[in-house]
Structure 1
Amino acid sequence: MRDKWKVEIPEEPDMEIKGNILDHEYEIESEGRKIAEVSKKWFRIRDSYGVEIEPGQDNALILAIAASLDQMAHD
Protein backbone atom coordinates (compact mmCIF):
# COMPACT_ATOMS: atom_id res chain seq x y z
CA MET A 1 0.00 0.00 0.00
CA ARG A 2 1.47 3.34 -1.05
CA ASP A 3 0.40 6.54 0.61
CA LYS A 4 0.87 10.14 -0.39
CA TRP A 5 0.64 12.99 2.11
CA LYS A 6 1.30 16.71 1.84
CA VAL A 7 2.78 18.92 4.55
CA GLU A 8 2.08 22.63 4.27
CA ILE A 9 3.97 25.12 6.42
CA PRO A 10 3.37 28.86 5.99
CA GLU A 11 6.16 30.64 4.11
CA GLU A 12 8.01 27.36 3.48
CA PRO A 13 8.02 25.01 0.48
CA ASP A 14 5.42 22.24 0.69
CA MET A 15 6.64 18.73 1.43
CA GLU A 16 5.33 15.48 -0.06
CA ILE A 17 5.49 12.17 1.73
CA LYS A 18 5.41 9.10 -0.49
CA GLY A 19 5.63 5.44 0.39
CA ASN A 20 4.19 2.99 2.85
CA ILE A 21 3.37 4.86 6.05
CA LEU A 22 2.10 1.78 7.92
CA ASP A 23 5.33 -0.14 7.28
CA HIS A 24 7.60 2.87 7.94
CA GLU A 25 9.03 2.85 4.43
CA TYR A 26 8.65 6.30 2.91
CA GLU A 27 10.46 9.41 1.68
CA ILE A 28 9.87 13.08 2.38
CA GLU A 29 10.45 15.37 -0.59
CA SER A 30 10.55 19.13 -0.96
CA GLU A 31 10.71 20.96 -4.28
CA GLY A 32 11.13 17.65 -6.09
CA ARG A 33 14.11 16.32 -4.13
CA LYS A 34 14.38 13.84 -1.28
CA ILE A 35 15.09 15.53 2.04
CA ALA A 36 14.51 12.55 4.35
CA GLU A 37 13.88 8.82 4.32
CA VAL A 38 12.15 6.71 6.96
CA SER A 39 12.83 2.98 7.00
CA LYS A 40 12.63 -0.13 9.16
CA LYS A 41 14.98 -2.08 6.89
CA TRP A 42 18.05 -0.66 8.64
CA PHE A 43 17.12 -2.33 11.94
CA ARG A 44 16.56 -5.87 13.13
CA ILE A 45 14.90 -4.75 16.35
CA ARG A 46 11.13 -5.11 16.20
CA ASP A 47 9.10 -1.88 16.18
CA SER A 48 12.17 0.25 15.38
CA TYR A 49 12.75 2.50 12.43
CA GLY A 50 15.23 5.15 11.43
CA VAL A 51 14.98 8.60 9.94
CA GLU A 52 17.79 9.69 7.63
CA ILE A 53 17.73 13.46 7.10
CA GLU A 54 19.67 15.25 4.39
CA PRO A 55 22.15 17.93 5.58
CA GLY A 56 20.75 21.43 5.86
CA GLN A 57 17.21 20.35 6.77
CA ASP A 58 15.28 21.21 9.92
CA ASN A 59 15.91 18.00 11.87
CA ALA A 60 13.32 18.75 14.56
CA LEU A 61 10.64 19.42 11.95
CA ILE A 62 11.39 16.23 10.01
CA LEU A 63 11.34 14.15 13.21
CA ALA A 64 8.07 15.80 14.26
CA ILE A 65 6.54 14.92 10.88
CA ALA A 66 7.69 11.29 11.20
CA ALA A 67 6.36 11.03 14.77
CA SER A 68 3.03 12.60 13.75
CA LEU A 69 2.61 10.21 10.84
CA ASP A 70 3.41 7.28 13.11
CA GLN A 71 0.81 8.43 15.62
CA MET A 72 -1.87 8.96 12.94
CA ALA A 73 -1.17 5.66 11.19
CA HIS A 74 -1.10 3.52 14.32
CA ASP A 75 -3.76 5.16 16.45
Structure 2
Amino acid sequence: MAVAVVFLGKLADLSGAAEASLPGPLDWAGLLEALPPSLADEVRGERVRVALNGELLAEKTALRAADGSEIALLPPVSGG
Protein backbone atom coordinates (compact mmCIF):
# COMPACT_ATOMS: atom_id res chain seq x y z
CA MET A 1 0.00 0.00 0.00
CA ALA A 2 0.93 3.64 -0.02
CA VAL A 3 0.44 6.98 1.69
CA ALA A 4 -1.44 9.68 -0.23
CA VAL A 5 0.14 13.13 0.04
CA VAL A 6 -2.09 16.06 -0.88
CA PHE A 7 -0.49 19.39 -1.80
CA LEU A 8 -2.66 22.47 -1.36
CA GLY A 9 -2.26 26.02 -2.65
CA LYS A 10 1.19 27.05 -3.76
CA LEU A 11 2.58 23.66 -2.69
CA ALA A 12 0.59 22.05 -5.50
CA ASP A 13 2.21 24.50 -7.92
CA LEU A 14 5.68 23.70 -6.58
CA SER A 15 5.12 19.94 -6.73
CA GLY A 16 3.59 20.03 -10.20
CA ALA A 17 0.64 17.93 -8.99
CA ALA A 18 -2.14 18.13 -6.44
CA GLU A 19 -1.37 14.68 -5.04
CA ALA A 20 1.38 12.07 -4.81
CA SER A 21 1.48 8.48 -3.67
CA LEU A 22 4.51 7.50 -1.57
CA PRO A 23 5.48 4.15 -0.06
CA GLY A 24 4.36 3.78 3.53
CA PRO A 25 4.72 3.80 6.40
CA LEU A 26 6.09 7.34 6.38
CA ASP A 27 7.45 9.61 9.10
CA TRP A 28 8.45 13.28 8.92
CA ALA A 29 12.05 12.61 7.87
CA GLY A 30 10.92 10.09 5.25
CA LEU A 31 8.39 12.54 3.83
CA LEU A 32 11.01 15.27 3.46
CA GLU A 33 13.44 12.83 1.86
CA ALA A 34 10.81 11.70 -0.67
CA LEU A 35 9.99 15.25 -1.80
CA PRO A 36 12.03 17.25 -4.32
CA PRO A 37 14.53 19.47 -2.44
CA SER A 38 12.83 22.78 -3.24
CA LEU A 39 9.46 21.46 -2.10
CA ALA A 40 10.97 19.88 1.04
CA ASP A 41 12.54 23.25 1.94
CA GLU A 42 9.15 24.94 1.61
CA VAL A 43 7.37 22.26 3.67
CA ARG A 44 9.96 22.58 6.47
CA GLY A 45 8.92 26.20 6.97
CA GLU A 46 7.13 27.14 10.18
CA ARG A 47 4.01 28.34 8.41
CA VAL A 48 3.23 25.09 6.58
CA ARG A 49 0.83 22.91 8.57
CA VAL A 50 0.44 19.14 8.30
CA ALA A 51 -2.76 17.14 8.65
CA LEU A 52 -2.88 13.36 8.99
CA ASN A 53 -6.17 11.73 8.03
CA GLY A 54 -7.98 15.07 8.43
CA GLU A 55 -6.49 15.99 11.82
CA LEU A 56 -4.01 18.87 12.11
CA LEU A 57 -0.82 17.86 13.86
CA ALA A 58 0.37 20.15 16.67
CA GLU A 59 3.96 19.24 15.76
CA LYS A 60 4.65 18.10 12.21
CA THR A 61 7.79 16.24 13.23
CA ALA A 62 5.45 13.83 15.09
CA LEU A 63 4.09 12.61 11.74
CA ARG A 64 3.63 8.82 11.58
CA ALA A 65 1.58 7.79 8.55
CA ALA A 66 0.65 4.15 8.10
CA ASP A 67 -0.16 2.53 4.76
CA GLY A 68 -3.48 3.88 3.52
CA SER A 69 -3.14 7.19 5.37
CA GLU A 70 -3.52 10.65 3.86
CA ILE A 71 -1.13 13.51 4.58
CA ALA A 72 -2.26 17.01 3.63
CA LEU A 73 0.31 19.79 3.40
CA LEU A 74 -1.29 23.18 4.07
CA PRO A 75 0.54 26.37 3.14
CA PRO A 76 -0.30 29.71 4.77
CA VAL A 77 -3.58 31.10 3.51
CA SER A 78 -3.72 34.54 1.98
CA GLY A 79 -6.98 36.26 1.37
CA GLY A 80 -8.55 39.52 0.61
Higher strand share: 1
Q: Normalising to structure 1: TM-score of the pair? A: 0.32
Q: Normalising to structure 2: TM-score of the pair? A: 0.31
